[in-house]
A and B are shown apart, each in its own frame.
Chain A
Amino acid sequence: MKSFQLNLLAAAVSAFMLSACGDAETTIVEQDPIEVPEDDHDHDDGYSIESAGRLAILASDSNEALIYDLDDNSLLGNFALTYSSSSLSSSADFRYALISTRAQDQIEFIDGGLWQEDHGDHLHAYQQAPTMSGYTLNGSRPTHLVKHDGKLAVFYDGNAETGEVASVQVVTDTDIANQTQSLPVLNYSVNMHGVAEPSEDYLIASIRRDDSLSTSANKVLPDQVGVYHLHDGEYEHEHIFEQSCPDLHGAAQNEEYQVFGCSDGILVTQQNGSEYNSAKIANISALDGLRVGSIYGHHELESFIGVASVHGGGAAILVHINPHDNEMETIDWQPQTSAQPLAYSFTADGEHFLILDNQGYLTLLSEHTHDDHSHWEFDSRIDISEQDIANMPEGLSFSMTISQNDHIVYIADPIAQHILQINLESGETTGEIELNFAPKAISWLGIAASEDEHDH
């Protein structure tokens, strides 16, 4: 068995060798990180997208709208529009830019490319390149666009000269995405310069009575408010509020109330199931003969802010409207000499009310509570333009839009041909988009901060 011993020796030798070991060496070098890739194939694997949003800009000198990326202020696309003299706003959930051309009876849409969908257990965000939607809304003289809780009510005034009657269409972002052909509609039998507030399956909308009954001085303005309920794609008349509203113009709503501006005060309406209430807040003497013609509301605020001004500009009187206490009081917004407001807006969180004026100032109001009574007071003022306002191109003005997911306002300056990004907390300018044209209007698009419209 000599061979066997040899073999044992060999095994022993190799057993010794078994203790020899291999080696591993690792080198890791960190590279530049990747932040928010554009391509949604690359974006990481959650449902949400962190993005400042996008900005739609209407050019003044051409039939063109542009979409900018607010994360890096880069141009994402420009889109030729069918008509000039349009106005710009956004869809109910801020996915689409709305290009509304009243004189041409048309609304066009640009998909901003940022949106989220409700997937049952979660909200699912999407990020794509902006595109022109082939979808259009057509109706006689689309005028007032009212957004509430994911719904946009388009009020078509109709046209007495052509015999076209007024109507309302309610459109959601999903309808625009799906190009829904038959939208819920309210058809009137006359024309009017009216307004409608969407609320779930209801429309709280203005009613124009027969001229012989109408209390309006200007008969094209309605003087009543009714409740319409959606059945089979059509809003059917359900109720007329007792209180009338002569020369109705301007409306707003919050969770509880709808308010309408009337020549004799503010009509407050309320609907609880099948119970309907209405009240009138009388005009206060400080209005000095003027009436509230536009009203601003925020769903988280109990009260509203109304604006009374001479038609076509002039000094404006702001009033605080409290429907709960049936009160109205003036707000001293401490205007600069000859400052005429151009635009008003609540911030996304409702903490501030902004007034942009023609002198290049942005005034911030904020709410204060004294003895259980809230008041809106002057808070601060930001100088938004270093330009000489005398150089403002004919027919243009400063304009603004509010970010729905940050404390930011974007201001378009047609003189300087740029867009400023202003942080409302610090009052500082935190960014600028330079343009080679004068911007006519701007509108923020994107995914609104989640806490608001989706939790009820």
Chain B
Amino acid sequence: MYHKKRIAIAVAALFPFVSAAQNLSGVVLNQQGNPIANARVKVEGTPFSAKTNEQGQFQLSNLPIGENELHIFAKNFAHRHQHVEIPKQGLNQYIIKLNRSPIEVIDVVASPVHLSVMESATPVNVIAGETLRQQQAATLGDSLEKLAGVHTNFHANVASTPIIRGLSGPRVMIAQNGLDVGDVSRVGPDHSVSSEVSTAQQIEVLRGPATLFYGSGAIGGVVNVVDFRVPVENTTQGEWLLEASSVNDKKLAAFNLTTGSDSVAFYADAHWREADDYKVPTAEGKIANSSEESNGFTLGSSYLLDNGYLGIAVEQFNREYGIPGHTHGEVESDAEETAENVYADLEQTRIQLLSELKLANSIFNQLNIRAASTEYEHAEIENSSVGTVFENSTQELRVELHHNPFFDWKGGLSFHYKNSDISAKGSEAFTPPSESQTFAIALMEEKHFGDVLVQLGARADQVELTANQVLLPELAVHAHSDETEEEEHDHDHDNSGYTSVYRVEQKFTPVSLSTGFVWDFTPGYNIGLSVSRSQRAPSASELMSFGPHIGTASYEIGSLFNFHQHGDETHFELNQQPVELETAKNIDFTLRKTQGDLGFVFNAFYNQVDNYYYQTATGLYAEVTHDHAEETDEHNHDHEHASELPVYLFQTDDVVLHGFEAQLAWQITDEFKTSLFSDYVRAKLKDGGDLPRTPPLRLGTQFSYQTSQLNAQLDITRYQEQDKISDYETVTSGYTLVDANIAYDLSLFNLNTALYLKINNLTDSEARVHTSFLKDLAPRPGRNFTAGIRGYF
């Protein structure tokens, strides 16, 4: 990997920078003719960009003579694309006027094609800056849940993962700076995502199939956490934050700092958080084992070149969090009394190597290299002894080459390599150790045909999944029914010790294709349409699992196996059906009003997924022993508890997901803004029946008041009842959450410092999350006051 990188740098150095070109200077103004500061003017298809000063002025040099396409964007304004003809003598006094957009528009970074809430064929959310800080929570899913189309699988404050349009787990990829985050959060809802939001700069969410950009694991969408841990600038700037919350006695401190001199830039960040069990407005009082402690730091450094940068960052992330609901299948009514002290101890070390280099040759104009090596481990600890240890060792390399406009087509090629070694050892190791290796090549292109932007993409992956020790034990199972109740306890649980062992090699070649357009059919409006076909290789846990999974309180069996019933006896055996790729065919329609005092984005989608891997209840129950090492006396006594878990088998079926997201924002005055959003997804099997844990219909509204000193929001979000449920689920009641926050700018010592107060769940309502595995055990926290101070410098 490192070797390849050196070659790339050498290649880049071969092409001298073009100097025979002209200047462009001008000013960016709003519709009232006032200058806009900090607006970015970018020349499309080239690496050139400039930022406006307080007077709205900008200057670009070395531009190619002739037609250039500018992309201009600024906070609270709609992005603008403008063609400019640059004459030989250059162009001065060029005026650009931007329209207001009440919906915040931030571009997805480092993509060969345009991606933003307003401009792409596929739907995108990006949050950054103040908004990100307001919404950040201890876990990733909870931080993003106010985005349209994104729900959380709320796991009692300690772990949560985003659900995008009803899909989650192995279908939603969590990336950091475009590379797999390298944890084991995709295989268990109680496994935390090893990415910290409080030190991130921007979070990008691609809703719907995004395999084109991220590969097989992103069939349902992507969450990309962007940070500047590998610094790209040497100006000294940073951010710090201190806050405390009442509901769980949380304390958080975080900072990040970028500095440097000449051609060397440095970055450092750290965070520390500690939270106790949180209070709930229900009989439980407090949710046992929902406390958390995490800390981490990053050191990064870059070498800044004339044509880009090359940098490295090393980060350490540690987290200790409770595992609530560790009840072995039985739902305990009084969680607090019976819960054991069960927690996970997570540790991750990640090294990132990033480089973006502008090239000046006839074919390519930009080379982006991203590489990461991640060592992840988390141990589940019960009464001070280690139960199960999960490990993930991932190495990844992505090389992107953006080409010069070719017949006005802009875009790039991307090469991707990833190797992951995942293992789980211990009593709850339900998936055998496996290694997966991916090679991929992708092409993404876009072109403006007048008012229409066409975006195309294709990607082919080769995924090799190898497991040397796939185990098929003889499992004693039984059915529950009233008539057989008597008999069942007599029958001999004959789990004789014969375990079949297989070496399994899977080779997949998923292919993804996508096409779409955005048509500015009338000024200030556009419609987008995107059609895609994406494929996903099933994950190791979906194929090869065979064991108890405490996080989901079930006995999980992968689709490589099937069962057979001979009279009263049930035997598990190898499935004779071929292993299939999961294939999603998705249509997305978008209607947007991109500028003016009123803006909206409306998305509707229809996604048909063939060979959708999902767990079906077999109606069987497996007896499970579970060790709890307890020190009862000087003789170390191993105490085992047993319980039974329902057996779930991974099967494939065709499913259909359809739904919509709507966002609307109205800037009533300069200070007052109101926004509305709603999302809905219906997820059902083609042959009838609903998928489990599908988010309910949601309606949200936000009133915001903003002056230069004061910033206040009131959010009211209504979650409707969910009664479209699968066989083994129950209906979840609707609820309304009211959140408020206020921030006051102190401007102490000439620094940008703000005091803030947040109130979550103002009405102290009982809120049970339908998408949560702990729905019955852990409702959302009760009323929570958070006070904090943050500063930017």
Contacts and interface: CB of A to CB of B under 8 A. Distances in A.
Interface in B502-517: 502-511, 513-515, 517
B363 interface: no
B343 interface: no
Contacts of B305: none
Contact of A3 (B449, B470, B509, B624): B449
Contact of B517 (A11, A29, A119, A450): A11
Nearest to B455: A10
B640 A14 contact: no
Given A26-B579, A124-B642, A50 B513 contact: no
B492 A24 contact: no
Contacts of B583: 21-22
Contact of A31 (B501, B633, B642): B501
Contacts of A17: 458, 513, 533
A181 B560 CA distance: 54
A27 B505 contact: yes
A29 B500 CA distance: 11
A22 B510 contact: yes
A41 to B, nearest CB: 6
Contacts of A237: none
A15 interface: yes
Interface in B398-437: 426-427
A213 interface: no
Interface stretch (B84-92, B471-479, B702-710, B749-757): B471-479
A14 B531 contact: yes
B531 A11 contact: yes
B581 A44 contact: no
Interface in A372-429: none
Interface string A13-45: 111011011111111111111111100110111
Contacts of A40: 627, 638, 640
A18 B512 CA distance: 8
Contacts of B633: 179
Contacts of A46: 475-476, 493-495, 623, 625
Contacts of B531: 11, 14-15, 18
Nearest to B425: A41
Interface in B453-509: 454, 456, 458, 468-471, 473-476, 489, 492-509
Interface residues of A, number: 49
Contacts of A45: 473, 475-476, 495, 547-548, 555, 622-625
Nearest to A41: B427
B456 A30 contact: no
A46 B555 CA distance: 12
A346 interface: no
B452 interface: yes
Interface size grouping (class) on chain B? 35 or more
A113 to B, nearest CB: 11
Contact of B585 (A6, A18, A49): A18
B372 to A, nearest CB: 26
A289 interface: no
B622 A33 contact: no
B476 A3 contact: no
Contact of A29 (B496, B503, B510): B503
Name the prevailing secondary structure of the A interface residues.
mixed
Interface in B278-313: none
Nearest to B448: A3
Contact of A30 (B495, B501, B623): B501
A122 B503 CA distance: 35
Contact of A24 (B452, B497, B504, B578): B578
B519 interface: yes
Contacts of B564: none
B449 A26 contact: no
Name the prevailing secondary structure of the B interface residues.
strand
A129 to B, nearest CB: 11
A121 interface: yes
A7 interface: yes
A126 B762 CA distance: 52
Interface string B211-245: 00000000000000000000000000000000000
B535 interface: yes
Contacts of B501: 30-34
A18 B426 CA distance: 43
A22 B509 contact: yes
Contacts of B454: 6-7, 10
Interface string B538-582: 000000000110000001000010000000000000100011110
Which one of A2, A33, A49, A134 has the greatest number of beta carbons of chain B within 10 Å? A33
A62 interface: no
Given A7-B449, A35-B498, A122 B511 contact: no
B449 A450 contact: no
B336 to A, nearest CB: 24
Contacts of B475: 44-46
B194 to A, nearest CB: 26
A44 B642 contact: no
Contact of A22 (B508, B529, B625): B508
Contact of B451 (A3, A15, A48, A50): A3
Contacts of A74: none
Nearest to B460: A22
Contact of A35 (B497, B503, B623, B627): B497
A46 B473 CA distance: 11
A441 B531 CA distance: 81
Contacts of A44: 473-475, 495, 497, 499
Given A21-B583, A25-B507, A41-B427, A134 B502 contact: no
A29 B625 contact: no
B450 interface: yes
B574 A28 contact: yes
B502 A31 contact: yes
Nearest to B472: A33
A30 B504 CA distance: 9
Which one of B475, B622, B635 has the greatest number of beta carbons of chain A within 10 Å? B635
B306 to A, nearest CB: 38
A7 B506 CA distance: 38
Contact of B511 (A20, A32, A37, A119): A20
B452 A7 contact: yes
Given A3-B451, A14-B514, A34-B471, A22 B498 contact: no
Interface string B193-207: 000000000000000
The 5 closest A-B CB pairs, nearest first, are A46-B495, A3-B449, A36-B497, A14-B515, A31-B501
21 contacts: A7-B452, A7-B454, A10-B454, A17-B513, A22-B535, A26-B504, A28-B505, A34-B499, A36-B496, A40-B627, A40-B640, A41-B427, A44-B474, A45-B476, A45-B548, A45-B622, A45-B625, A46-B476, A46-B625, A47-B623, A122-B642
Given A37-B497, A122-B489, 18 more contacts: A6-B454, A10-B515, A25-B507, A26-B504, A26-B507, A28-B560, A29-B504, A33-B498, A35-B498, A41-B627, A44-B495, A44-B497, A45-B473, A46-B625, A47-B495, A47-B642, A122-B642, A179-B633
